[in-house]
Chains A and B, each alone.
Chain A
Amino acid sequence: SSELTQDPAVSVALGQTVRITCQGDSLRSYYASWYQQKPGQAPVLVIYGKNNRPSGIPDRFSGSSSGNTASLTITGAQAEDEADYYCNSRDSSGNPLFGGGTKLTVL
């Protein structure tokens, strides 16, 4: 099977830039998608594909990928960006696989 590894927690000062990473072998073959989850709410898709944002997602969110690592970057983090972030790709069977999640704190 495969794994997607994320840092459990990351912090960023208000208005600064933060990168959240996701590592896994499957990322050499598949793009990651990224989800934001606030307490008590369902996840929300924020980035997918090479670097695509669904309608309504601010352009301070961007994605990138290199080798076995996918990254979600928030440029100019806002207080409302404080949330858990999950990456998603595929396992060795081609089924969806989530990273363990990163708790983002905006200071």
Chain B
Amino acid sequence: QVQLVQSGAEVKKPGSSVKVSCKASGGTFSSYTISWVRQAPGQGLEWMGRIIPILGIANYAQKFQGRVTITADKSTSTAYMELSSLRSEDTAVYYCAREFGLLFDYWGQGTLVTVSS
């Protein structure tokens, strides 16, 4: 059984960066694809990007290109999502999820990132 455990809530100032972690257990981390999905308050789900740890290759939604960096540390089975140049509209719950083919079968518990001056 795969389990994804994310880091805790963050409060950030506009213009700063945030880095959220997602630690995996169960299965073989290197062979996963880990995606990041965010959800603004009262809004829907929005895919941000993904990484394939075994390849070290990440790709990003066009909307976040240049502002998001997704990395993975195979030694600790942990994926990271860093979002820079934060603005108030980035206030959201950020989820990591295992992407398996055309579906997301395991999700982290979510990390609330609040951007406020």
Instruction: Name A residues whose Cβ lies closer than 8 Å to a Cβ of B.
Output: 1, 30-31, 33, 35, 37, 42-45, 48-49, 54, 86, 88-90, 93, 95-101
Partner of A88, one of B61, B95, B103: B103
Partner of B44, one of A30, A42, A100: A100
Tell me the interface secondary structure of chain B in the complex: strand
Is B102 close to A, CB under 8 A? yes
B68-90 residues with Cβ-Cβ distance < 8 A to A are none
Partner of A86, one of B44, B108, B109: B44
The total of Cβ contacts below 8 Å across the A-B interface reads: 57
Nearest-neighbor residue (CB-CB) of B104 within chain A: A45
Known pairs A33-B102, A45-B105; A96 contacts B35 (CB<8 A): yes
Determine the chain B residues whose CB is within 8 A of the CB of A89 once the complex forms: 102
Report yes or no: A98 in contact with B102, Cβ–Cβ below 8 A. Answer: no
5 interchain pairs, CB-CB under 8 A = A37-B45, A43-B107, A45-B103, A45-B104, A88-B45
Is B47 close to A, CB under 8 A? yes
Determine the chain B residues whose CB is within 8 A of the CB of A33 once the complex forms: 102-104
Cα(A18)–Cα(B47), bound, Å = 27
Cα(A88)–Cα(B104), bound, Å = 9
**Chain B nearest CB: distance from A11 CB in Å?**
19
Determine the chain B residues whose CB is within 8 A of the CB of A35 once the complex forms: 45, 104
Report yes or no: B105 in contact with A101, Cβ–Cβ below 8 A. Answer: no
Report yes or no: A86 in contact with B45, Cβ–Cβ below 8 A. Answer: yes
Determine the chain B residues whose CB is within 8 A of the CB of A98 once the complex forms: 37, 44-47
Cα(A98)–Cα(B99), bound, Å = 13
Determine the chain A residues whose CB is within 8 A of the CB of B116 once the complex forms: none
Cα(A27)–Cα(B107), bound, Å = 23
Is B25 close to A, CB under 8 A? no
Is B59 close to A, CB under 8 A? yes
